[in-house]
Every structure is written in C-alpha cells, then in structure tokens.
Amino acid sequence: MKKTMPQHNLPNSFQLESGQSLLGASLYYEILGEISENKEVVWVCHAFTGSATVKDWWASIFVENGGFIDLNQHVVICANLLGSCYGSTGPESLNPHTAEIYGDEFPIITNRDAVRAFIELRIALNIPKIHFLIGGSLGGQQALEWSIMEPEVIVNQILVASNAKHSAWGIAFNELQRQAIELGEKSDVEDQQKSLSLARSIAMLSYRSYSDFERNQNGKAENGDWRVSSYLKYQGKKFNGRFSIKSYNILSKMMDSHNVANGRGGKLAEVLKSVKVKTLCIGIDSDNLFPLDEQIFISEHIPNAKLEVIKSSKGHDAFLIEGNLISKFINKQLSNTLYEET
C-alpha cells in the first residue's frame, strides 16, 4: 500500500514575492523519528527533482548506511517544495479560482517563497530550533536563504554543491532545458515526453563531469550507437513519468532567480557577512554546474564558515552519491549542538 504523507495547509491566501497569492495551498512532508526535546532536528531541503521522502534519494546520510543521521538521536523533517509534483501544491494541482488544473497559470515561485512555506510548517510542528539544516544544489540555495531569514532558529547549516547567486552558466543550462520542453509542449503526449527526455539529457551534461563521461561512456555500445548517446537517451526516457513538465519549468526558474542579496540593500558579499549561523560549505572538485569557486566564495564571506571538498569524478551528482563523506565532514566540523544557544 502506498504511504500517505501528512499535509500541512498554508494560510488560505499565501502571499508570494511576485505579488500573487496561492489559495488553499499545502505542503506534503515526511517526519522520520519522533519530535522530542531530547533529539536534534535535521531539516533536509531537497534538490530540484527530489521529494520529501529523503531515504528514497539520500539513503547514504543515514547511520545504517554509513551516514551521520541516527534516528535514536535525530528527527528528520523534509517538505516537498511548492511548485513540485510530489505532493505539495504545484502546476498539476487544482486552482480554486477556476476549479481547473493550474497548468501554465501557476505563479512564479522563488526560493524565498519556498522557505516562507517551510517556516509555516516549522511553526505548526512547534519546532523552536533546527540543529542541522542541510541542502544540496537547489536545496542548498533554500537553506542559505533560510539561515538569513531565521538566524535565531538555525544552529548549523550545511550547504552542499550550492551557491549564493545562480550563475549565468547555470541559467543557460536551465534555459536550454526549458527550450527543449517548449518544442513539444503544445504537441501530443508522446512529443511532450520526448521534449522532457531531451531536457533531462541536457541536464545530465551539467550533472556529470568530463572525466566521468570519458571513463564510463566512451566508445560504442553493443547496438552500434555511441555509448554516450545510449546513456543520454536512457536517462531521458527513465525520467518520463517521474516528473511534471510544468514543475520542471517552475523549479528551474526558481533556481535561476536565486540571489540572497535581492531586496536586502547590499552587495552579495555584504549580505553573506551578516549571516550568523554556523556554516559548513561542501563543494565538489569536478562540479561543472555549481563550481567549487561558488562554495569558496560563500565560505570566505560568511564569518567563521568552514569549507570541505569532495574529490570525485562524478561532477555535481557526487553530492547525492557521497553521503557518507558528507556525513564525515559534518561530524568533523559540527558537533555537540544539542541545546546550543545561538
């Protein structure tokens, strides 16, 4: 039987940065373990195509798989993003204004909007402190935003393969993926799936590295096609049915708009210098999408931030693969936080 995740109803008219509002919106979320004064809270902000079910996509950060999260000591909370297609209100949801599916009418959502929704959930769950706020990629963007919005709540933040402002390079990759989706958007279901497959294939070029492609996808496959061609086609087809085209558009634009200095009256470096939360930045030496320079920049400007580097040929995807190493970095740099006051 499929597990039903609990649902948190946001304020009936949830205001967005764009000036629009969402009526009757909700977040789906998962809690692993029991919320207790004797347990540290680990809040995970999931990545672009991730979901609230952390163990499905980041099992390696749990102690039984060699990670740091021990449900005897921790309680884990993760909420699906607004705009996603894994349970929270998104483009596939019913629009109360029209009684029809939102589709293209779904409003633009920013990371700041997403975090405000998380804060509503935190308050509803009566959680005064988050001992470990952790996010990778898009999730890392949200964690950093959250640490600025609620510095008195976050004890430690772990920003993995992320940035303080999305780059022109990253926006370019997302734009190509959206253009690929547009090719089939007004066609039949089959062409729509082909366009989403193409978008995912483009994304894979940014998720892996040159050396990883050379090592694992060089030469020709048994069918005579180039191995890399077969690999990209496989990754694209595998993605069909797993994610929504409309959510892909919404969340990629969410990532593109990320800049923690927006509306804060200062330069990026100055805003980072105001961050009071104990911060661990983790970068990947082969990451083409969120290059190591971006994590170095954050760590150099947030006071007393620490930097650790994952050495891997897997590119950006190493943040999902190297959960054990991420856990070692967390144990090395961040410990004894229970009841710590900030």
Mean pLDDT computed over 210-236: 93
**Poorest-pLDDT segment among 84-98, 148-162, 322-336:** 322-336
Q: Does position 221 have pLDDT exceeding 90, yes or no?
A: no
Q: Which token pair is 34?
A: 């029991």
Mean pLDDT computed over 84-99: 95
- Residue 316 annotated among the catalytic residues of the structure: yes
Report pLDDT for 9. Answer: 96
Compute the radius of gyration of the chain from its Cα atoms. 20
- Residue 293 annotated among the catalytic residues of the structure: no
CB 307 within 8 A of CB 299: yes
Domains of the chain: 7-166+261-333 (3.40.50.1820), 170-254 (1.10.1740.110)
How many angstroms separate the CA atoms of 192 and 190, rounded?
A: 5
- Of 67, 87, 68, 71, whose CA–CA distance to 79 is shortest? 87
Handedness of CA 225, 227, 228, 232 (dihedral sign): positive
Confidence of residue 336 (pLDDT cuts 50, 70, 90): low
Percent of the chain with pLDDT over 90: 89
pTM, rounded to two decimals:
0.94
Report pLDDT for 73. Answer: 95
Segment 29-79, tens digit of pLDDT: 999 999 999 999 999 999 999 999 999 999 999 999 999 999 999 999 999
Catalytic position from the list 93, 137, 201, 247: 137
Confidence of residue 4 (pLDDT cuts 50, 70, 90): low
Q: Which token pair is 245?
A: 């085209």
Burial 233-251 (b: 16+ CB within 10 A, else e): eebbeebbeebbbbbbbbb
- Residue 56 annotated among the catalytic residues of the structure: no
Report pLDDT for 40. Answer: 96
Catalytic position from the list 113, 256, 287, 317: 287
SS3 per residue for the chain: CCCCCCEEECCCEEECCCCCEEECCEEEEEEECCCCCCCEEEEEECCCCCCCCHHHHCHHHEHHHCCCECCCCEEEEEECCCCCCCCCCCCCCEECCCCEECHHHCCCCCHHHHHHHHHHHHHHCCCCCEEEEEEECHHHHHHHHHHHHCCCCEEEEEEECCCCECCHHHHHHHHHHHHHHHHHCCCCHHHHHHHHHHHHHHHHHHHCCHHHHHHHCCCECCCCCEHHHHHHHHHHHHHCCCCCHHHHHHHHHHHHCCECCCCCCCCHHHHHHCCCCEEEEEEECCCCCCCHHHHHHHHHHCCCCEEEEECCCCHHHHHHHCHHHHHHHHHHHCCCCCCCCC
Q: Which token pair is 211?
A: 């050396």
Residue 56 phi, psi dihedral angles, 5° rounding: -75, -30
